[in-house]
Structure 1
Amino acid sequence: MSGVPPLTRSGGSEGPGAGRTAVVTGASSGIGAATATRLAADGFDVVVGARRVDRLEELAAAIGARALPLDVTDQASVDAFAAALERVDVLVNNAGGAFDANAVADADLDSWARTYEVNVLGTVRVTKALLPALRASGAGDVLVVSSTAGLVTYEGGSSYTAAKHGVHAMVGALRLELVAEPVRVIEIAPGMVHTEEFSLNRLESQEKADAVYRGVREPLVADDVADCIAWALTRPHHVNVDLMVVRPRAQAAQHKVFRGQD
């Protein structure tokens, strides 16, 4: 839209992302913030969106990005966000989260609805809103940060695994639908990633959140996932990374984690 101020990249005009605009959702912390930082360093013009505007603006100021408020569960918010963008070459759908660890027998249906709304419908809302701009770019990328929880199930993860399976299915369908168009569809599925908020939001206890990673030698951190995202986005555009599963070496599978340290 006219009147939108130009961006200043922290990475300057050089780098593999030079001349491309990347939108990152859920960018106020964790993987989203790390991804925005990495893409800015790689020369992308970065636009960050999230609900917590104060944290978002602090990040944007630090990396030379543009911050816009975004609630992926609110259609009006998504529409306003899309209307404020002149160009989009890359969409990193990162907004998501887990909000309980209940068994199906103890399911909190409000939590299930929230989990589906944020992870599945939120991703669909933003993707749908920005697809016209991604098509118009001539070489667009839709990258979805999903989870290994979208590929397997586990006890206590019913609401989250159901939602992430929905995300995985949506990504697969979208790739089929866009095969004749100049838009790649990429899925990055992290396993155990130690961030400051994910397990805390889910378990509502710092002690329980810390226990998730206790004894695990070198769990992934947000920067590790951001590195994978940046690599996938900077391949030649005919190279499509359909699905990248990335786990720490200590996590051989969702249910198999080596805990060898106190």
Structure 2
Amino acid sequence: MSTRTRTAVVTGASSGIGAATARRLAEAGFHVVLTARRADRLDALAKELAADGRSVAAHALDVTDRAAVDAFAAGLDGCDVLVNNAGGALGADPVESADPAEWRTMYEVNVLGVLHVTQALLPALTASGDGTIVVLSSTAGLATYEGGGGYVAAKHGAHVIAETLRLELNGRPVRVIEIAPGMVKTDEFALTRFHGDTDRAAAVYAGVDAPLTADDVADTVTWAVTRPSHVNVDLLVLRPRAQASNTKVHRGAP
């Protein structure tokens, strides 16, 4: 059995779930390649991990830029694990009045971003002889809710990529894992969705006893990735105890 260090690429690694996943995978012994648009944050995280003796590299990357993604892939020595984490939500307007530009942005990041990076790294993942693709989707990709049309549509797209890819890669040495988190409280997700409106962002989690954290999701991703090679976690839905569905959340004392 090879003793070489396995390489994991994490997109959207500058904050939230991506940064937490990078930390967890580095702790698990992977050489982690951090990618995101914000180079300053990537560099800070890379320095943090390197100071702890972890193997890490950082590469500023916009997953919606196919030429940049292809150039990034060409510069890698190899890839064993790809964590498609880059994504996000914009707005919570009904379909009737939603901004098409926001829908387009969400589709480009959550769907085409996954497509670009997966296509670019699939040859290396296959060549590794034991590759793993992780798609960080959302419970929004499994069920709808009012005001979520654009994000729900985009995450349904990410879910379909994972489901279809698993069929198409059957017989090849590459697993496809989908992790679908529900309510996760991070520093930026809701704030970005509501364009910096702190009151609306805070209201999402108001009264909820212990929503998921970025590290909860990162721990789950790392667990799934480190299962024996013949074990595939096709789809894992992860919610806090207070959330029964996308539209039923308990707010108050448990």
TM-score by length of 1: 0.92
Paired with 2:20 and 2:127, the residues of 1 have a C-alpha distance of 27
Corresponding position: 1:197 with 2:188: yes
Corresponding position: 1:119 with 2:110: yes
Residue 69 of structure 1 and its aligned partner are, at CA, apart by: 1.0
Paired with 1:76 and 1:49, the residues of 2 have a C-alpha distance of 15
* Structure 2 residue aligned with 1:208: 200
Paired with 1:168 and 1:82, the residues of 2 have a C-alpha distance of 23
Residue 83 of structure 1 and its aligned partner are, at CA, apart by: 1.6
* Structure 2 residue aligned with 1:238: 230
* Structure 2 residue aligned with 1:28: 14
SS at match of 1:135: helix
**Letter matched to residue 92 of structure 1:** V
In the TM superposition, 1:56-205 aligns within 5 A as 56-64=42-50, 65-204=56-195, 205=197
Paired with 1:187 and 1:48, the residues of 2 have a C-alpha distance of 20
CA RMSD across the alignment = 1.0
**Letter matched to residue 199 of structure 2:** E
User: How many equivalent pairs are there?
Assistant: 245
* Structure 2 residue aligned with 1:9: none
Paired with 1:106 and 1:92, the residues of 2 have a C-alpha distance of 33
Paired with 2:124 and 2:229, the residues of 1 have a C-alpha distance of 17
Residue 62 of structure 1 and its aligned partner are, at CA, apart by: 0.8
* Structure 1 residue aligned with 2:35: 49
Percent of paired sites with the same residue: 64
TM-score by length of 2: 0.95
The structure 2 residue matched to 1:226, chosen from 199, 214, 218, is 218
Paired with 1:100 and 1:121, the residues of 2 have a C-alpha distance of 19
Contact 1:37–1:63 (CA under 8 A) maintained in structure 2: yes
**Letter matched to residue 148 of structure 1:** T
Residue 18 of structure 1 and its aligned partner are, at CA, apart by: 6.8
**Letter matched to residue 25 of structure 1:** T
* Structure 1 residue aligned with 2:53: none
Which consecutive residues of structure 1, in runs of 5 or more, have no partner in the other structure? 1-16
Paired with 1:213 and 1:80, the residues of 2 have a C-alpha distance of 40
Displacement over 4 Å in runs of 4+: none
- Superposed CA deviations along residues 52-88 of structure 1, whole A, max 9, x for unmatched, are 0000010011113100011011112111211221010
